[in-house]
Structure 1
């Protein structure tokens, strides 16, 4: 008998636009691009599952990739609404915007202003960071756990690049 081979046509599937991870009591979200409403719903569902697993407030770390576009008005509203709706479940919010170019620095300045305007900013609650290592001391203090280890594990899971 002769071997036969079949060919299949594969439809290219886009890689996911986001990644989530739960390490200790830290919920990580990495956005490669601004999210769709469906992606926000899915991330919200994963966050709620993580909260239910611990039944106590979580630290949240949101990471935007260096190549991420700036969210449009509707996307920003949806993201801020997601944060407002879940604030009572979050003990600390850390935003990390990757990238070192001028545009990334300008985006961090704009994001800081938006946090203040939307009243999400509170120096004891929300912070904006340039590097993952800057988050570690806050996690150590809040969770009484090794924040550097949490950041290391998140890096292994691909949350940080």
Structure 2
């Protein structure tokens, strides 16, 4: 098992051995930079990152209650309520009583919200695909393996 100080091969140089702490740091920085760059590839709108993320969750997951959306986004219900209010005011989310339980409110992306998400996904996927296709087959294979690992990290 690797520890914080156990050397492992560095991605920067085959001769350099970095620690798990260095790898973690480098990975976090690279992941953050890629995420920021991808966020630039979106439909022009006034949404905050949190609003966009919540709309994205409704786009992917489908209708959710406020509690389920809060849990998914890992924020408090009062915070999510403010986010949802802004999305409703922008015409991107619809709020209605749940068909299963009238006491609960169900949130769904509107047609305008779905269109915004589809166009943003299209732009981001095109930007990234253009760069991935330029990688060698070996780099693409490593990226596919890394993607599985990244999902595991994100879901932990």
The two structures share one fold, judged by TM-score above 0.5? no
Q: Could you state the TM-score of these two structures normalised by the residue count of structure 1? A: 0.27
Greater share of strand: 1
Larger relative contact order (Cα-Cα within 8 Å, sequence gap ≥ 6): 1
Q: Using structure 2 for the length normalisation, give the TM-score.
A: 0.28
Specify which structure has the higher proportion of helix: 2
Structure whose alpha-carbon radius of gyration is higher: 2
